Amino acid sequence: MLSQKKLTSAFNLPIGSQIIGKWDRQRYTITRLLGKGAVGAVYLVKRDDGHLIALKISDQIASISSEINVLKKLTKVQGTSPGPSLFDVDDWISPTGENYPFYTMEYVKGERLDQFIQRRGMDWISLLFAQLLSELAKLHQAGFVLGDLKLENLIVTSDPIRLRFIDVGGVTLFGRSVKEYTEFYDRGYWQCGDRKAEPKYDLFSLAMVAIHCTYPKQFNKTDQPKQQLLAKLRQAKSLNRYQLFLERALLGRYKGCLEMKRDLEKHYLSRMSKNQKVILPSNHDQQTSWLEISIFSIISLITWLLAYLN
Amino acid sequence: MKQGKLKQILLITDGCSNQGEDPILVANYIQEQGITVNVIGVLDQGQTQSDSLSEVEAIATAGGGVCQLVYPQALSQTVQAVTRQAMTQTLQGVVNQELQQILGKDQTIEELPPEQRGEVIEVVEELTETSDLHLLVLVDTSASMQKKLITVKEALIDLSISMNSRVGDNQFAIYNFPGKKKPTSKVLDWSSKLNKLEAVFPKLTSGGMTPTGPALKEALYSFSQTGLLRSLRRNVEPEEADFGF
Ligand SMILES: Nc1ncnc2c1ncn2[C@@H]1O[C@H](COP(=O)(O)OP(=O)(O)O)[C@@H](O)[C@H]1O
Ligand SMILES: [Mg+2]
């Protein structure tokens, strides 16, 4: 959280202006600002071939180079790589002569998880978390933790609906100290463990994501952080159905992603097959959700029937 | 590259030194000895980054280190981030020097093509994680720091969680200034853990003195005592009078 004033030109590029790479001479036109963080600014840009992609630019050479290194390694992960895919790496020389490293990546289009949940309901948590856990499992298999897992770094894409992470600034090799984290999501802060990178570190943060969704303003730490967290979890009515899983994640009882994922899957399958009424939130523009839920119910129904017939 | 030992001083203050040597001069001298001086300037709620804190930046510049101004609530995250950044920056400097020896005198990391730069940064990162760290923390306990001291203590305990999650070894020492009858007092002698800090963290020292320069001098002296010399000359116990609740 280095609050250096980002007044520099690279962090306030006007819409329509162009960035030309120093090494590859590739041209990018700024379409809009996607967001700013501790490391740099991310713009939506148009490449000369018309593609819309995301461009992250920074004045912290060590941090951004390290992110690039991570993204490169992730492209070597089997199957679709977790996180956004990396396109080009280059430098931009500002009109005043400073050198800004930047990279371009896949534009992950969607909305923030908390907004999505607000519109479509807590029922989605188990499905979305299970998806993210598969992606995290791949990352862990490659020997890394995500580190800075938090609401701001998660996007729900719409076509197909999937929960994805975007910021790899905290990605750390197992056994090392987590490179970048945010207090509210950090088990060290809550006195629930250290900051050594291991799978359980991410699972703790993931549980905090759910807690943050129900306490949008977060809350301050008291003298008994661990007990406080568990109490907050119990008090959150909307999390009741997930309490068991989230508590396990907070206490480090899951050895890895797949174990937690299995629990979540069991949970949503049981909800679907018991023929429970699925309650839809009040908004009405959700054909996809209806469709997916009915497909789900049909599949579960068939599974159930088969089991019954045997 | 050889596994280095990083020597860093972290000064936590709200500025306005008013006694003894010029801290900027001392910081310059310390940097000459291969030790980096980093400074965290603690702001009062509502205070904008201003005059009294310009000294803070000047000390960090003279000491070759990182400077960061911060409000108390962000102190924990800042202390660990500044420490990490300070280590990276020092190591980057070392790597730059080596690069210049190999590639000529104007070659820096910034000017390398992205591909090679990535490889160099990977080395720097690896060293940041595995190097041994000697960190001496100097805490300003003058009257103006009153409301901020508990936060400082928490931030230092939090720092040890971060640092002890690293692969490399750590040694921490903590001093405060002004001390009771002298400019500086030892709060905690060199050790790898900060968990004793809860019990020994100093209270405020009254009186209007802020001897930042002399405190930095004492810090340098403490570094010269680590290593061989120190094992011969067993250190005196930290002073009793000032500490303990
Ligand atoms: N690939 C991407 N696609 C869409 N939006 C993105 C992408 N990368 C970043 N963003 C947006 O930019 C913001 C800041 O990016 P981030 O990588 O988190 O920066 P920092 O590392 O500085 O925190 C994010 O919160 C998100 O809103
Ligand atoms: Mg971010």
| Nearest Cα residue to A185 out of A164, A155, A215, A162 | A215
Closest CA to A70 of B122, B22, B241, B206: B122
Co-location of A92 and A138 in the same domain: no
By C-alpha distance, the chain A residue nearest B70 is: A3
A128/A100 same-domain check: no
The burial of B152, by beta-carbon neighbours within 10 Å (0-12 exposed, 13-18 middle, 19 or more buried), is given as buried
Cβ(A148)–Cβ(A180) below 8 Å:
yes
* Distance of alpha carbon A253 from alpha carbon A249, whole angstroms: 6
Inter-chain touch A1–B81, beta carbons under 8 Å: yes
A117 plus A255 within the same structural domain = yes
Residue B153 reports pLDDT greater than 80: yes
- Tell me whether residue A296 is in a domain: no
**Are residue A130 and residue A260 in the same domain, yes or no?**
yes
Shared-domain flag, residues A122 and A247: yes
Mark whether A238 and A205 lie in a shared domain: yes
Taking only the tens place, the pLDDT of each residue in A215-228 is 999 999 999 999 99
- Arithmetic mean of pLDDT, B39-54: 81
Which pLDDT score, from 0 to 100, does residue B239 have?
34
Residues A53 and A14 in one domain: yes
Give which of A153, A96, A161, A97 is closest to A123, Cα–Cα. A161
Segments of chain A with pLDDT less than 50: 1-6, 280-291, 293
Which residue's C-alpha comes closest to atom 8 of ligand 1? Answer: A166
Mean model confidence pLDDT for chain B: 86
Average the pLDDT over B184-188 and give the result.
Answer: 92
Domain boundaries, chain B: 5-243
Q: Of A52, A86, A105, which residue is a domain's last?
A: A105
Write down the pLDDT at residue B18.
86
Domain count, chain A: 2
Q: Are A64 and A140 within one domain?
A: no
Q: What band does B39 get if pLDDT is binned at 50, 70 and 90? A: very high
State residue A301's pLDDT score. Answer: 55
**DSSP labels for B51-89?**
GGGHHHHHHHHHTEEEEEEE-GGGHHHHHHHHHHHHHHH
Asked if residue A287 belongs to a domain, the reply is no
The whole-number pLDDT of residue A181 equals 96
Q: Following DSSP, what letter does each residue of A220-235 receive, concatenated? A: ---SSHHHHHHHHHHH
Gap between the Cα atoms of A62 and B90, Å rounded: 12
Residue ending a domain, choose from A72, A105, A138: A105
Residue A177 domain-assigned?
yes
Q: Provide ipTM, 2 decimals.
A: 0.85
- Which structural domain, as residue segments, surrounds residue A9? 4-105
One of A90, A148, A186, A263 is an active-site residue; which one?
A148
Reference B81, options A179, A272, A270; nearest CA is A179
How far apart (Å, rounded) are the C-alpha atoms in residues A193 and A197? 11
Residues of chain A contacting residue B71, judged by C-beta atoms under 8 Å apart = none
Q: For residue A87, what is the domain's CATH number?
A: 3.30.200.20
| Residue A252 counted as domain residue | yes
Domain check: are A90 and A125 in the same one? no
**A89 with B114: Cβ contact below 8 A:** yes
Which has the minimum average pLDDT: A33-47, B31-45, B145-159, B185-199?
A: B185-199
Q: Are residues A247 and A142 in the same domain?
A: yes
Looking at the domain assignment, is residue A305 inside a domain? no
Give B227's pLDDT tier (boundaries 50, 70, 90): low
Same domain, A208 and A80: no
Contact A125, A271 (CB under 8 A): no
Residues with CB under 6 A from ligand 1: A 34-35, 37-40, 42, 54, 56, 84, 105-108, 152-153, 166-167, 169
Tens-place pLDDT, residues A122-153: 999 999 999 999 999 999 999 999 999 999 99
Residues in contact with A227: Cβ distance below 8 Å, sequence separation at least 6, in sequence order? none
**The last residue of a domain, from among A70, A86, A105:** A105
Q: What pLDDT shows up at residue A304?
A: 59
Among B150, B209, B201, B176, which Cα is nearest to B10's? B176
| In a domain? residue A247 | yes
pLDDT of B99-118, one tens digit each?
Answer: 888 877 777 888 899 999 99
A129 shares a domain with A96: no
* Fold of the CATH domain B5-243: Rossmann fold (3.40.50)
Q: In which element (H, E) is residue A73 found?
A: helix A61-75
- A146: CATH: 1.10.510.10
Output the pTM of the full model.
0.86
**Are the beta carbons of B166 and A61 separated by less than 8 Å?**
no
Q: Side chain identity at A304, as an amino acid letter? A: W
- Tell me if A264 is assigned to some domain: yes
Asked whether residue A303 is assigned to any structural domain, the reply reads no
For the segment B34-47, the average pLDDT, to the nearest whole number, is 91
Which residue among B110, B122, B167 places its CB closest to the CB of A99? B110
Is residue A148 annotated as part of the catalytic site, yes or no?
A: yes
